[in-house]
Structure 1
Amino acid sequence: MQVVPVSQTPLETPMEDSSLTSASTMAARTIVIDHGSGFLKAGLSGWNEPQMVIPNIVNYVPCRENPGPSYAQRRVGLGIDICHPDTFSYPVQRGRVLNWEGVEHIWSFVLEKHRRGQKDFPVLVTESPLKVPADRRKTLEIMFELLDVPSLLLADQLQMSLYASGLLTGLVFDSGYGLTRVQPFHLGCPLTSFGKTLEFAGQDISTYLFKSLFKEAQDQHNILQLDTVTAIQMNKCYVRHNLPEVLGPCQSLPKGSDEGNIYHLPDGTTRELTPMQQLAPEMFFSPQMFDMPGPSISQVIMESMQACKTSRHHLLLTHMMACGGNILYPGFSQRLLNELTSQKHSSKIILRTSSNPHFSVWLGASVVAHLSTYRPQWISKGEYVEGKGL
């Protein structure tokens, strides 16, 4: 078994299929937008990282000129307004757009920052596999009618993650803030009927920490509590690669080190974290420990792979791509590989990871923006006006 880091410069890595080769670009630069449930990543194509990463958060505050609760009397802004912390919300949740006005406001901000007086940049927007035709129509309407985009490409997020690794065939595992998804691919085409989507991801770890840390006093609009939960997730949570062995017959979680389980609050006080809090990402592997129904992510991956043709199993097992912010938890990738190997009873499993797994979708889209094979899929504003892009 093996965990293979993927190069951070896939723009220099040849694809497996010669048909996917770089060609003359549609424009010198394309604005690439990957709008996830937790963060939006945006930037100009040709770079290996997005130049803009902003929280997927908008706020609504009363207008001074005409204060009041109605739609016409409030103003939309980005992020959390510290003067009105109870007014923010997430316009995209679990991969679904719930607030198109908020999405439009974020996209408008992104385009304004990248255009810099030049409005002829084409735009590539990544799409969630949960997309519906109505979402596509609304995206085209906003981009062409309200934001005056000259041409647009809508690209599947998981397919972009695959291309970021330089592969055409493989199995993509992506676990972000709102969704955990598994999708096998063959020669660049998703084997859609074998894909799996779980409405379980990073925000469920946040919710668990909120409830266990603050109990009855929890308030997900409290900035101090938000910062505390985020800091603990980033700095204190981890995955043990051998937890099943450590548990043994007593089924009790191991305690962390004396310093490792202490979190220092901004006011100078400290909080001792329980083993369950530090090992909160374990819910991906042992959901029953957290009174969750499951299945575990390793089971989902194996079910997706085994549903494919037997002749493709070896290629999928040796071309697994793990991406999304959750694999950044220390020990996550190794534990996932151990679980997969245990279920398959085989050493021929290669799990590929990127040093920037939370940017994999954006990076793949940055590559695709310059591929001639995708040129027929671009929609121009003229085609949209004629109704050809709908």
Structure 2
Amino acid sequence: MATRTIIIDHGSGFLKAGLSGWNEPQMVFPSIVNYIPCRENPGPSYAQRRVSLGIDIYNPDTFSYPIERGRILNWEGVEHIWSFVLEKHRQEHEDSPVLIAESPRREPVDRQKTLEIMFELLDVPSILLANQMEMSLYASGLLTGVVVDSGYGLTRVQPFHLGRSLLSSAKTLEFAGQDLSDYLFRSLFKEDCNRHNLFQLETVATTQMSKCYVPQNLAEALDFRQSLPSGSDENNTYHLPDGALVELTPMQRLAPEMFFSPQVFDLQGPSISQAVVDSVKTCETSMHPILTSHVMACGGNTLYPGFTKRLYKELTADLLTPTKATIWVGSNRNFSVWLGASVVAHLSTYRSEWMTREEYDESMRV
């Protein structure tokens, strides 16, 4: 495409958007909408309620995530978010085409609804619906390897060979960042846990971003942390609104262990490293060495200190190939989908994948 393309990567937890050609998205915000009762309708009914972005501090109980585990549950909320993104970017790029990176879980009816919103309500000139996992592959500059993406709602593993996804080998785990948040909510606040309490939300977010890490050995890490004198590690504490200090437990600091030992946290399914092993083993044996030497870690959860080192350690121990596992990581790997889509927006090989408004109108007449 000759003009700048508006890239939208709408995940379960965050939306990343911006113009192609940049090294990172210009807009990153939580995928959250809230419904505020208006004067005409102060009750809980959907009729005549105002939808807006984010959390309203005066009505914190009204927010929700329109996408859960990669599936769109609230199209009105999604439409409102997309409309906001396009309005911001169209101030300088009015006729820009739009590329939306989709979850592989989207059904054909979801794709049709996306096209309907974009062409009929938001009046875009052309659109490309691209697979999120494939976009992460392109962000790495590789065509063959295993993409390991762990975000807010899902953890996914997808092998590729020469740019072609090996769909039968894909693995999806229904535990990700939101499960880590839920664990911290329950363990920090116990019976007073309220996911719409703004202080609790901020405490959990701060704990995740600045205090949690992945241990290389859970038992050893627990022994070490439990042996520390109380108050000896300032990273173990957080402040209550009254200024009081509360000390984090070892398991709260080590909560990202759930990606490698889900059973410890009562979660179903294999660990993320076992999912990679299982995925590779379903591929042709001759492909195992090149796949394991190109494991691409992306998504926000891979940013936890110790994550990629632990993944490498477990894959090297579990994979029965002469080639050691190699983990490919980038500094902006939480934006891998968006970055790959920014590259694809200008590839001539994808030109036939785009749909124009004229082609959409013609398909609707058939």
The equivalent of 2:270 in structure 1 is 295
Match of 1:113 among 80, 88, 93: 88
State the Cα deviation string for residues 168-192 of structure 1 (Å, max 9, x = none).
Answer: 1110000000000000001111000
Match of 1:380 among 356, 361, 364: 356
Q: Is the 8 A contact 1:59 1:78 kept in 2?
A: yes
The equivalent of 2:326 in structure 1 is 350
Q: Is the 8 A contact 1:119 1:149 kept in 2?
A: no
Q: CA deviation at 1:389?
A: 11
TM-score, scaled relative to structure 2 = 0.95
2:271 matched to 1:271? no
The equivalent of 2:77 in structure 1 is 102
The equivalent of 1:334 in structure 2 is 309
Q: Is the 8 A contact 1:383 1:389 kept in 2?
A: no
Q: Is the 8 A contact 2:148 2:158 kept in 1?
A: yes
Match of 1:44 among 2, 6, 19: 19
State the Cα deviation string for residues 296-318 of structure 1 (Å, max 9, x = none).
Answer: 11111000001100111011011
2:65 matched to 1:90? yes
Aligned residue for 1:263, secondary structure, equals: strand
- Bigger relative contact order (CA 8 A; separation at least 6): 1
Unaligned 5+ segments in structure 2 are: none
CA distance in 1, matches of 2:365, 2:262: 43
CA distance in 2, matches of 1:207, 1:47: 34
Unaligned 5+ segments in structure 1 are: 1-25
Match of 2:97 among 110, 118, 122: 122
2:229 matched to 1:254? no
CA distance in 1, matches of 2:97, 2:34: 28
Which contiguous aligned blocks of 4+ residues in structure 1 show a shift greater than 6 angstroms? none
Q: Is the 8 A contact 1:125 1:155 kept in 2?
A: yes
Q: Is the 8 A contact 2:4 2:93 kept in 1?
A: no
Q: Is the 8 A contact 1:27 1:122 kept in 2?
A: no
Change (3 A) 1:341 1:118: closer
The equivalent of 1:202 in structure 2 is 177
Q: Is the 8 A contact 2:175 2:267 kept in 1?
A: no
Aligned residue for 2:187, secondary structure, equals: helix
Aligned residues with identical type, % of pairs: 69
| RMSD of aligned alpha carbons | 1.7
Aligned residue for 2:36, secondary structure, equals: strand
State the Cα deviation string for residues 31-74 of structure 1 (Å, max 9, x = none).
Answer: 00000000000000000100000110000001134433322221
CA distance in 1, matches of 2:365, 2:223: 57
State the Cα deviation string for residues 64-123 of structure 1 (Å, max 9, x = none).
Answer: 344333222210000000010000000001000000000000000000000006431100
Q: Is the 8 A contact 1:206 1:229 kept in 2?
A: yes
2:194 matched to 1:219? yes
Change (3 A) 1:169 1:388: farther
Change (3 A) 1:117 1:236: closer
CA distance in 1, matches of 2:126, 2:44: 37
CA distance in 1, matches of 2:312, 2:136: 19
Match of 2:46 among 55, 71, 76: 71
Q: Is the 8 A contact 1:169 1:315 kept in 2?
A: yes
Change (3 A) 1:291 1:252: farther
Deviates more, 1:64-73 or 1:312-321: 64-73
Q: Which amino acid aligns with 2:327?
A: L
Aligned residues between the structures: 361
Change (3 A) 1:347 1:310: closer
CA distance in 2, matches of 1:365, 1:351: 21
Deviates more, 1:292-301 or 1:199-208: 292-301
Q: CA deviation at 1:294?
A: 3.2
CA distance in 1, matches of 2:323, 2:253: 30
Q: Which amino acid aligns with 1:305?
A: V
Q: CA deviation at 1:213?
A: 0.6
